[in-house]
A and B are shown apart, each in its own frame.
Chain A
Amino acid sequence: MVELPVPQVGDPDLPVSMPSPVLEAIGASKRYRRGGSWALREVSLAIAPGTITALVGPNGAGKSTLIRSWIGFEGLTGGSVRIMGIDPTADRAGAVGSIGYVSQSTALYRGLTVADHLSLARTMRHGFDAASAELRLEQLDIPLSQKAGTLSGGQAAQVALCIALGTGAPVLLLDEPLASLDPLARHDFLNLLVAAVRERGATALLSSHIVSDVQAACDQLIVLGGGRVTLQAPIAQSVAEHRLVAAGTAPPEIIVATFARPGGESIALIHSSDPALPPPTLEELVMGYLSAARGVTAATGRRVA
């Protein structure tokens, strides 16, 4: 497998002009049980401020583990993570105070109304902007008096996002919030996210395995496979620097991965900017890197869905 260079903290090759990263992982490793498989294996990455980054990978790739380590929900087996320069293991309160978080399951208090959730957020987060959250919810036609237990999955995710945005946190961590949403709800969610993040100049990390959705909303891409970062680059640049060719026609050293299209045609994703060759779609690019990650996976014995 060929990996694109991943920016390393302290890497002398890192562009001098790159602003201080908002989110960093430095050799982050996580194993849940001694002798068990690695959820994260020496993950190093840096996310610049003001970006919306898609964290893509198959189930079990370590996306949630990585995101939860930034908010102090998971301890690491090795390495470290930083958010706004804060190590959450040393200063969890500082890390939490910098983050707006939407969890995978979007678990709200079923017996409380939407308005109660806003009140709850006000009691728990200093400076929570309930007025802006209310405004966003009104725009989304979500009644404040409705109980969370009666919200649809999409509405619950929207409420969670509005609360995360209401914190005014400089960093938004969104752990697969789109997973259970229908296309319309996903569209609304991403519209709200992009508008709010752009308006505030915040930084967002959105994990997902729905590539078509993140393409519209995100400008950066991180592909996580087998607990490792296999690609980190701007989306447009990533697509521009890869091409698709028929399997077996490209030199091995530029092949990222070979995989089959839905019709059964076997193709290779290669490092190339040759205008004569067709560029991959983002989905094909991700598919290529996930296929490459499976190679890593096979070597480590880790199962990938």
Chain B
Amino acid sequence: MSRAVWLTWKMHRFEVIAGVLLIGLLAISAWIMTGHITSLGLSDACWPRDADGNYATNACDSLMNDFYSITSSEGGFVRIGLALVAPIVGLILGVPIVARELELRTTSFAWSLQASRSHWLASRALPMLLVAMVAFVVLGIMGSMFFDTLAVGRQGAALTEVASGGAALVARGLMAVGVALLVGALTGRTMPAFIIAAIVVVAWSVMGVTMIQAQLSHGWAVWTPSNDDSWQTGQLGYIAYVDHGNFDTTKPGEDGQPGARFDFDTLDREAIATCGNAPDDDSGESAEFRAWADCADPIYQRGNDAGWNLTVPASRYGDYVAVDTLASLLVGGLAILLTFPVVARRRPS
């Protein structure tokens, strides 16, 4: 077994080194950024802000300036890296496992020696999955630490950053490995496999995950008075609910379009839908457009003066992460399992 692992390492050392380097650099960067932000000494004592938007003390104002300076520059790059690097490394590690062997015709050599192609695939894929998992776990821990420090400054991860740390990052990376493995086995060509697998992973990460999150949010959203700023104290946070692309602010009052009576924001911990006025006619609303229908709800009427926000409590954030993690593992695991029959039926080049 150790010999097989060693040979797999020799076959894939360039992509393993590239992947580990990428992840290592990003993990170190996240660790350094975490240290910088932690060293600011920003604490909950700086919250809440007063009516003019000032922090609790002048020192807090200065600290927050430093905080924003870090998070908008180097911290921003780390944030982008945490969202992208794990899937990219997953693709780099996963694509060549089968695709390159088919492309370079070494499958004729290997499959004529190994009686079981399932064993062959397992002996190639498992070491790579193991390397990927260890690398992703390290990055996931660093990502979580980084976002934990951002939360001190009330800048937690957005829903689009669910997979930028922790278990969801590991799952998203492993999902990319699985998809890349399957697409590589199907195409038998490295570069086309990389491109197709990247499209699939991006489609899943953007469209698939967004759809799942929207469904979850529909179930988890609650109405909260818009003047309730308790989230600033850390007791209640609001996170995004549905894609604001469903709303059209240019057509106020038009049937089927909620228009200006709603205020939308996809940033986490903020309301995504605010009913400022009672809707004049909701008869044409689609059944799935919950925000509109809920605005006609008596609860909205009660809060007509103050306005109400349709929000998901921040305490649900962990549930989003859990669902994202499980869904990504399911997709990746399914892709890996499907690779076995594909390889079994595959004709070597």
Contact = CB atoms under 8 A, between A and B. Distances in A.
Interface of A: 71, 73-74, 92-94, 96-97, 99-101, 103, 105, 107-112, 116, 119-125, 128, 160, 163-164, 167
Interface residues of B, number: 22
Interface of B: 3-4, 7, 10-11, 13, 104-106, 108-116, 120, 123, 347-348
A103 B7 CA distance: 22
A204 to B, nearest CB: 15
A107 B113 contact: no
A119 B7 CA distance: 8
Which interface residue of B7, B108, B113, B115 has the most chain A CB atoms within 10 A?
A: B113
Contacts of B105: 103, 105, 107
Contact of A124 (B13, B108, B113): B113
A73 B347 contact: yes
7 contacts: A105-B108, A107-B106, A108-B109, A112-B10, A119-B3, A124-B120, A164-B112
Given A93-B116, A109-B109, 8 more contacts: A96-B111, A97-B115, A103-B109, A109-B106, A111-B11, A116-B10, A120-B113, A122-B3
A230 B114 CA distance: 34
B111 A73 contact: yes
A124 B11 contact: no
B79 to A, nearest CB: 36
Contacts of A163: 113
Contact of B113 (A112, A116, A125): A125
A214 to B, nearest CB: 22
A107 to B, nearest CB: 4
A112 B7 contact: yes
Given A73-B347, A123-B7, A160 B109 contact: yes
A96 B7 contact: no
A166 to B, nearest CB: 10
Contacts of A119: 3, 7
A101 B120 CA distance: 17
Given A97-B115, A122-B3, A109 B11 contact: yes
B10 A73 contact: no
Contacts of B347: 73-74
Contact of B104 (A71, A94, A110, A124): A110
A17 to B, nearest CB: 32
A164 B112 CA distance: 9
A107 B7 contact: no
A108 B106 contact: yes
Contacts of A120: 7, 110, 113
A123 B112 contact: no
Contacts of B114: 96, 124-125
A108 B112 CA distance: 12
B104 A107 contact: yes
Contacts of B116: 93
Contacts of A108: 106, 109
Which interface residue of B4, B105, B112 has the most chain A CB atoms within 10 A?
A: B112
A100 B112 CA distance: 7
A275 B237 CA distance: 104
